[in-house]
Chains A and B, each alone.
Chain A
Amino acid sequence: MNGVTVSAKVNGDAVQYVCPADESLLDVLRNRLNLTGVKEGCGTGDCGACSITLDGRLVCACLVLGAEAEGREIGTVEGLSEGGKLHPLQEEFIEKAALQCGICTPGFLVAAKSLLERNPNPTEEEIRYALAGNLCRCTGYDKIVRAVQSAAKIMRRGKKAAR
């Protein structure tokens, strides 16, 4: 294999892998690093099931080459929970039944977390725009929007309490 050796960080942990130069970061994460939370819906940037963060920016892992990640910080859905405790977004997705088959869920969670970091109190319209790059064939989106609103509220309250 004409491979590229890459050192990066995933969810805070140092990782090293060797991959072909044309392999996507999506395939690296799933097949080499066993992080199967990141999903492939389309492989062409349309569905958002492969959403991750790269140096803090929300991107589609299917549109990044594994070789590009040298020295970068990658964040996946596996990094959302802390010490076995689910993230408020995860809790609210369950609470509000914002998933059915679940294939879109990791992407929605990562994208929603990225939104709430930039904008802790988004309007419904802002949520719908921010999640326009994530497709769901099951829920009809409404419960997803409600779950994000409710998680945002909980997170704002948490921040206030911590102050």
Chain B
Amino acid sequence: MRFESPTTTKAAATLLASESGVAHVLAGGTDLLVRMKMGSIEPDLVVDIKRIESLRTLKVAAAGVQIGAAVPAVRLGESDKLRSLWPGVVEAANLIGSDQIQGRCTVVGNLCNASPAADSVPALIAAGAKALVVGPKGKRRVAVEKVVLGPGRTSLARDEFIEAVVLPARTGKSADAYLRFTPRTEMDIAVVSAAINLTLSRGIVQSAKVVLGAVAPTAVIVPAAAKALIGTKLDDAALDKMVAACRAACNPIDDKRGTIAYRTKVAGVMARRAALIAYERAGGSK
């Protein structure tokens, strides 16, 4: 195995493009090094992107947020401004692993690892995040939900990598929330999760996005659930409708951590609670 730590995105793209064997980008390494240790992958080339200055930057403004691919999750929680603009994205990213994992793991790595249970992914999708993709042919911008194709599979070409994710401008009274269900409070993988992003006007939901995690091969956007909330003050009838839409969108696995029936039921519970949290954070009161 060769190890390279380029200092520009261009050099990183060239290294990836010219490798004929198996090449992997190394961000925090909290998935990659585990898989190397388990022997499930044997890279010929590992490209550490943490020495690329532009990838280490976190830009936070109401007009937009850019989270570099080499920014460890712990730094998101350290930004008061990011926590107030995107509390759901931050709480999702800060749920990944322990303090030790937080010091290394990135949201872009969480996305590219393409686990159905990845915590930051539903929150990024609900936020309307875009990934900035770099490749030998230049750059492109793609919605985060278009990156993951299935467990362990992404739409990135083998010589492409993600430079950053960007969150859109925040307007009006908006807030997001993320909740996951795990048997332990810490250091566990989501059995079910829900991310909700709302914008209100005079306490009435103007726009909504509802995304579920760990209930299908990829995170699931549930437009019918969002529709149930729009135009309401999150009264019980609206919430019941949203819960029913969430449950109808579930296609989970059946395993020792949760049966299909259990995951489907809990998906609705998580979504209801997350919606109420987002509503309150956005300044809504019932």
Show the binding face of A for B, using Cβ within 8 Å: 2, 4, 20-22, 24, 43-46, 48, 51, 54, 57-60, 62-65, 67-68, 70, 111, 114-115, 129-130, 132-134
Q: Confirm or deny: B223 has a beta carbon within 8 angstroms of a beta carbon on chain A.
A: no
By the criterion of a CB under 8 Å from any partner CB, how many residues of chain B are at the interface?
A: 28
Given contacts A44-B37, A45-B30, whether A68 and B48 have CB atoms under 8 Å apart is yes
B104 touches A65 (CB 8 A): no
Q: 1/0 per residue B1-14: CB within 8 Å of A?
A: 11101000000000
Q: Confirm or deny: B149 has a beta carbon within 8 angstroms of a beta carbon on chain A.
A: no
For the complex formed, measure the closest distance between the CB of A79 and the CB atoms of chain B, giving whole angstroms.
17
B36 touches A133 (CB 8 A): no
Q: Confirm or deny: B18 has a beta carbon within 8 angstroms of a beta carbon on chain A.
A: no
Most chain A CB within a 10 A radius of its CB, from B2, B46, B100: B100
Given contacts A57-B72, A63-B29, whether A133 and B48 have CB atoms under 8 Å apart is no
B5 touches A70 (CB 8 A): yes
Which residues from chain A contact B5 at a C-beta distance below 8 Å? 67-68, 70
Given contacts A44-B37, A132-B187, whether A63 and B46 have CB atoms under 8 Å apart is no
A60 touches B101 (CB 8 A): yes
CB neighbors of A among B83-130 (8 A): 97-101, 103-104
Given contacts A68-B48, A133-B99, whether A59 and B104 have CB atoms under 8 Å apart is yes
B101 touches A133 (CB 8 A): yes
Given contacts A58-B100, A59-B100, whether A45 and B74 have CB atoms under 8 Å apart is no
For the complex formed, measure the closest distance between the CB of B91 and the CB atoms of chain A, giving whole angstroms.
13
Which residues from chain B contact A59 at a C-beta distance below 8 Å? 100, 103-104
Q: Confirm or deny: B33 has a beta carbon within 8 angstroms of a beta carbon on chain A.
A: yes
List the 8 closest A-B pairs by CB distance, nearest first: A133-B98, A132-B186, A21-B3, A57-B103, A67-B3, A133-B100, A59-B103, A22-B1
Which residues from chain A contact B261 at a C-beta distance below 8 Å? none
Chain B residue, CB-CB nearest to A132: B186
Which residues from chain B contact A54 at a C-beta distance below 8 Å? 103
A111 touches B101 (CB 8 A): no
Q: Confirm or deny: B34 has a beta carbon within 8 angstroms of a beta carbon on chain A.
A: yes
Given contacts A58-B100, A59-B103, A60-B100, whether A44 and B48 have CB atoms under 8 Å apart is no
B34 touches A44 (CB 8 A): yes
Bound-complex Cα distance A22 to B37 (A): 9
For the complex formed, measure the closest distance between the CB of A154 and the CB atoms of chain B, giving whole angstroms.
22
**Which of B28, B36, B99, B101 is close to A114, meaning CB atoms less than 8 Å apart?**
B99
Chain B residue, CB-CB nearest to A50: B100
Chain A residue, CB-CB nearest to B103: A57
**Which of B28, B46, B103 is close to A58, meaning CB atoms less than 8 Å apart?**
B103
Which residues from chain A contact B29 at a C-beta distance below 8 Å? 63-65, 68
Which residues from chain A contact B186 at a C-beta distance below 8 Å? 129, 132-133
**Which of B3, B101, B185, B187 is close to A65, meaning CB atoms less than 8 Å apart?**
B3
Question: Could you name 19 residue pairs across A and B whose Cβ atoms are closer than 8 Å?
Answer: A21-B1, A44-B34, A44-B37, A44-B38, A57-B72, A58-B99, A59-B103, A59-B104, A60-B104, A63-B28, A63-B29, A65-B3, A65-B48, A67-B5, A68-B3, A68-B48, A129-B185, A129-B186, A133-B101
Which residues from chain B contact A45 at a C-beta distance below 8 Å? 30, 33-34, 97, 100-101
Most chain A CB within a 10 A radius of its CB, from B28, B30, B72, B99: B99
Q: Confirm or deny: B50 has a beta carbon within 8 angstroms of a beta carbon on chain A.
A: yes
